Amino acid sequence: MGRTVLCVDDDPDDRDLIRSAIFDIDPSYTIAYAENGRDALKYLKDSLNAELPCLIIMDINMPVMDGKQTIAEIKKWPELDHVPLVVFSTSNHPSDLSFCKRYNVELVMKPTSLRQITQEAQRLLHHCAED
């Protein structure tokens, strides 16, 4: 795996915050974006023959194909088993928590400040360093 983080979120402000936080930590990372699950799955399918991301950060609530549907599809692909997937969401609804637990996906409440996002990104990027 390379040093690409796939950020799947329909909110451009949230995508920009994640990008800024990651670049503050290490500007050598590449950030790939998808605005919904369908686009994320297309990106991942195209990456199977190239370079998979070292981390996927995904929102739950998105149009076209939401995070839950996307995670369920990703978990069907054995080629993606080793790619860490983290849900960044404003939701702490019990059904979302139980869904993430069932699929063994970490759920992180979206931080509200760039400083908090940078701290969370620092922790999450350790997944990329483990390879």
Cα dihedral sign, 10-16-17-18: positive
Does domain 4-129 sit in CATH 2.60.40.10? no
Q: Which residues contact 22 (CB under 8 A, 6 or more apart)?
A: 5, 29, 31, 121, 125
Q: What is the pLDDT of residues 25-80, one digit of tens each?
A: 888 899 999 999 999 999 999 988 888 999 999 998 888 888 899 999 999 999 88
Phi, psi values for residue 81, rounded to 5°: -55, -35
- Phi then psi for 108, rounded to 5 degrees? -115, 125
* Residue 60 burial (CB count, 10 A): 22
Average pLDDT over residues 89-96: 79
Is this structure's pTM higher than 0.85? yes
